[in-house]
Structure 1
Amino acid sequence: MTQVVFENARIFDGYSADCAEGMSVLIENGTIREVSDRPIKADGAQRINVAGKTLMPGLIDCHIHAYFSDLNAKVVDGRDAPYRTAHAVKKLGHALDCGFTTVRDIGGGDFPLAAAVADGLIRGPRFFYAGKVLSMTGGHVDYRTPTEQHHTHGYCSCGSMNWGGVVVDGVDACIKAAREELRRGAHCIKITASGGVMSPSDPMWMNQFREDEIRAIVNEAVERRTYVSAHCHPVSAIRRSVEFGVRCIEHATLIDAETAGWVAERGAYVVPTMSVIFVSMEVGAKLGMAADSIVKLKVAADAAIQGLQYMRDAGVKLGYGTDLLGSTYDQQCREFEFRSEVFTPLEMLRQATSMGAEILMQDGKLGCVTPGAHADLIVVDGDPLKDIGLLAADGRKLDAIMRAGEIVKNRLD
């Protein structure tokens, strides 16, 4: 039996701004067994003196794409699986070093990568994945350019599948694709419900999929006791997705105040992604981003921060997401920097811990410091409730990182 005791800790539990001091936490076989304001007796346990620093849940990034090795999705497709996997190894290792003990790959991630992480072949965070994104013909994950004419129907044909998505049209095809991704172990289903920045043939304002198609996909997820998440930029796509049963909205970049209130009333979740917008604005042209994508990116950038303010004012349930592509994955911690224009440190800490766990349907197991939860923990050299920049320092201000009870970093001995 492996036991670790963290002693003399200030604890942020994932929820409360009132951080108890002088606390002890017992870890046993990968699980938090006890949280106490008194010394914990555990003969033979490894003891780590937190010395008044902050012990808190490991961070959760609810929007990554581990295989997305370039800003051009077609380039990613052409590089094939070995290159994409090598990229994923570096990206996931960097995320863990930054204190992200859980990630949700919301497009492209698969069972082999999840198994490699779980079996210790790849050093990385706990890995949830949505499998291939479902897109209609000409939708956001149909990466063919307007000049390409071929299209062969059928789930496994080269014309309707790429590394990140599958192109489906009609209720029957949507049902089959959703079932196939769930069969492959997907933790949820992702659809593209609007146009996007990186796709070559659809404007951002475009609504995608019919009502019957979205409802059919949602039904398949519900029957599997999971949920659908939808890529959405404009208000129209956000509203119809939530109305049709989608549980989580990705991006919501162009949301307005009225729609934010409407989403909050219905209890849907939103994962904004400021990093991909503002980092791509900084380096996208240099890294080869297409000119039309840069034009669309500017539209997103002009509205993004105001959209955060609308959602904060309305009380929308928000998760932490980054969506960084290609070599920009090393900017993952800057999401705290961008969000700090609107949110307090406590709000951001909740977004990156307990709210992320809710989105993953893992509340009480992840994103918290409580008995029975997974022992995914970080020790911060300081108080992130006063200085969120401690978490935006690419792991340099983290003295310890624990994932599933395994100590992956320890500067406290």
Structure 2
Amino acid sequence: MIILENARVFDGHSAECAEGVSIAIEGQIIREVSEKPLSFPEAQRINVGGRTLMPGLIDLHTHAYASDMNVKRVDGAGDPYRTAHAVRMLGHALDSGFTTLRDIGGGDWSLSEALKDGLLRGPRFFYAGKILSMTGGHGDFRGPGEAHHTHGYCSCGGDANTLCVVVDGVDACLRAVREQYRRGAHCIKIMGSGGVASPTDPIWINQFREDEIRAVVNECMERRSYAAAHCHPPSAIRRCVDFGVRCIEHGTLIDDETAAFVAERGAYIVPTMAIIFAIRESGAALGMPKDSVDKLNEMFDEALAGMDRMRSAGVKIGFGTDLLGEAYIQQTREFLLRSEVFSPLEILRQATSMSAEILMKSDQLGSVKVGAFADLIVVDGDPLSDIGLLAQSGERLSLIMRDGEIVKNLLN
């Protein structure tokens, strides 16, 4: 047993932090949270010294295998190179205080098992498998001069790339959803609109028909899971939520009316500011094609305004970054970018309890409470006053605990 004592606790929810708290961890689980000293003679005791103890951070929008800003080069890099990138990216995330990631496109059973078995360092790992894209959609990275794909899920490639699978029609969508769940996916993501990285679709285009989206959503519900959708323009956001999608990724160009609709439906949005600013500042230097950088620039000015509209409408907002290639080191920058719109308390909730709710894991993650997993960080200072403490890639974290295991400890 480990006891963390003399802690100032942000529990993932409350605006006020309890002082002088002791937390008992047994195995992987928080067994007791008390404002009185805990008496366990055989326990390992760590004095937190009045620092802020809080739930480990959650990033809901990552791509562990996305080893390059140019997504076509990701496919050509090969499995060993992509895995090597995943190793460094996952280790950096853990060292930055992220104890849980959701890989929302490309992550797989093999990487998940390697993390579980301790073959590499990294956060708790949820994954959506391959993203579903229609032909010519945001997940179809072929240029207009490239040949058709005809091979389905065969190992020679066909209509599947590292991050996505291309499907058209209800039957093909159902088959792809069932295949991703067979491979251990925790949720399913579809491409609901055009995007930045793909070569042949404008940002504004709505993708997939209603019957295709509803078929995917229904299959997810039967699995007691959920569907997420990549969407930038308001038309795509609204129709996906209307058709039953539970979580919108990005939502960059949302308008006031659509934000109110999303809030009324109780759906979630995971904005991703870090990748937007990374591409704006250095996308070309990091290998992103000019056409993609140009598409990003078209919507850049709306990025922070879109988050403000979500906030005003009362949309439930999760925390995500979507960083590709060398930009992975900017993960904690998301805290500073969001601080242009949100208060520190709002951002802390987004990165803990709200993201756990989106994962459908509120009983286990994102909170400091009895019965939750012991995924915890200790911050030197008060992030409720200065969110920038979390924006330094873990430098202001004196303790990181994942699943009851101490992975960093500067306290003793």
TM-score normalised to structure 2 length: 0.99
Aligned to 2:5: 7
Which whole-Å CA distance do the structure 2 matches of 1:370 and 1:364 have between them? 9
SS of aligned partner of 2:78: helix
Moved more, 295-304 or 187-196: 295-304
Counterparts of 1:323-338 in structure 2 under 5 Å?
Answer: 323-338=322-337
| Letter of the structure 2 residue corresponding to residue 130 of structure 1 | A
Aligned to 1:48: 46
Aligned to 1:299: 298
- Deviation of 1:291 after TM superposition, in Å, equals 1.2
- Deviation of 1:279 after TM superposition, in Å, equals 1.1
Which whole-Å CA distance do the structure 1 matches of 2:103 and 2:338 have between them? 21
8 Å Cα contact 1:91/1:329 also seen in 2: yes
Counterparts of 1:92-131 in structure 2 under 5 Å?
Answer: 92-131=90-129
- Deviation of 1:292 after TM superposition, in Å, equals 1.1
Which whole-Å CA distance do the structure 1 matches of 2:287 and 2:26 have between them? 48
Which whole-Å CA distance do the structure 2 matches of 1:40 and 1:150 have between them? 65
SS of aligned partner of 2:5: strand
- Deviation of 1:301 after TM superposition, in Å, equals 1.2
Aligned to 1:376: 375
2:152 aligned with 1:167, yes or no? no
CA displacement 1:321-364 (0-9 Å, x = unmatched): 00000010000000011100000000000000000100100002
Aligned to 1:30: 28
2:57 aligned with 1:59, yes or no? yes
8 Å Cα contact 1:152/1:158 also seen in 2: no
Aligned to 1:211: 210
Runs of 4+ off more than 3 Å = none
- Deviation of 1:288 after TM superposition, in Å, equals 2.1
8 Å Cα contact 1:93/1:123 also seen in 2: yes
SS of aligned partner of 1:363: coil
SS of aligned partner of 2:102: strand
Counterparts of 1:229-378 in structure 2 under 5 Å?
Answer: 229-378=228-377
2:406 aligned with 1:407, yes or no? yes
TM-score normalised to structure 1 length: 0.99
SS of aligned partner of 1:365: coil
SS of aligned partner of 1:95: helix
| Letter of the structure 2 residue corresponding to residue 40 of structure 1 | L
SS of aligned partner of 1:352: helix
Which whole-Å CA distance do the structure 1 matches of 2:288 and 2:71 have between them? 10
| Letter of the structure 2 residue corresponding to residue 176 of structure 1 | R
CA displacement 1:284-314 (0-9 Å, x = unmatched): 1111211111111112211100001000001
Which whole-Å CA distance do the structure 2 matches of 1:400 and 1:144 have between them? 45
Aligned to 1:228: 227
Which whole-Å CA distance do the structure 2 matches of 1:44 and 1:82 have between them? 44
| Letter of the structure 1 residue corresponding to residue 396 of structure 2 | K
Which whole-Å CA distance do the structure 1 matches of 2:147 and 2:82 have between them? 27
Which whole-Å CA distance do the structure 2 matches of 1:240 and 1:155 have between them? 29
Length, aligned pairs only: 411
8 Å Cα contact 2:152/2:160 also seen in 1: no
Q: How big is the alpha-carbon RMSD for the aligned residues of Structure 1 and Structure 2?
A: 0.8
| Letter of the structure 2 residue corresponding to residue 21 of structure 1 | E
Which whole-Å CA distance do the structure 1 matches of 2:24 and 2:152 have between them? 52
Aligned to 2:131: 133
Aligned to 1:83: 81
8 Å Cα contact 2:335/2:387 also seen in 1: yes
Structure 1: runs of 5 or more not aligned:
none
CA displacement 1:376-395 (0-9 Å, x = unmatched): 00000011000001000110
> What is the percent sequence identity of the aligned residues?
68
Which whole-Å CA distance do the structure 1 matches of 2:298 and 2:335 have between them? 22
